Amino acid sequence: CRGWLVTAFDQSGQPQAAIDTLLDLLEYSPRSLDTCRDLAERFAAAGDDVNAERAATSLVESAPVEASHQIALAKLRQANEDWEPALGHWQQAVSLRSEDPQPLLSLTRLQWLHGDRDHAREGLKTLKLTEWDERFKEVDERIAELVRLMQR
């Protein structure tokens, strides 16, 4: 329902109707990451920074102790080049999902790129010393990419 209705409003040049539809959907599914992210992006595109921020923060307000929500907001902050809050949300995700290397990989990379070299080195050390579950097959390759980045 959501997809085709929002798409129909988009195709007919009715961005506010698409936003209104997403707001209605959010009432029925307040923990929907896709809906919150879509709303934040649409409000930002419309120049409504207040509602864009409200939609973005609702990503974590609805489930503050779920790593997936912290990750979603961290990615949104990064896409908007809002680095300090992005780092904070990545740190939260790492603490909530310590058994998963992906949040730590993302945090370490962002720390390195933004000059927090000491913390990035600590993150890399943790990544290398941790025995990750076999379901994370790509972790060694991602660590190698991080090492190459840090050697530049």
Predicted confidence (pLDDT) per residue in 128-150, tens digit? 999 999 999 999 999 999 999 99
User: In this structure, which amino acid lies at residue 70?
Assistant: Q
- Taking residue 81's Cβ as centre, other Cβ atoms within 10 Å add up to 7
Predicted confidence (pLDDT) per residue in 52-110, tens digit? 999 988 888 878 889 999 999 999 999 989 999 999 999 999 999 999 999 999 999 99
Residues 6 or more apart whose CB falls under 8 angstroms from that of 95 comprise none
- Taking residue 127's Cβ as centre, other Cβ atoms within 10 Å add up to 19
User: In this structure, which amino acid lies at residue 139?
Assistant: V
The pLDDT score that the predictor gives to residue 33 is: 86
Predicted confidence (pLDDT) per residue in 16-56, tens digit? 999 999 999 888 887 788 888 899 999 999 999 999 999 98
Specify whether the CB–CB gap between 103 and 86 falls below 8 A: no
User: In this structure, which amino acid lies at residue 63?
Assistant: A
Q: How far apart are CA 132 and CA 127, in angstroms?
A: 9
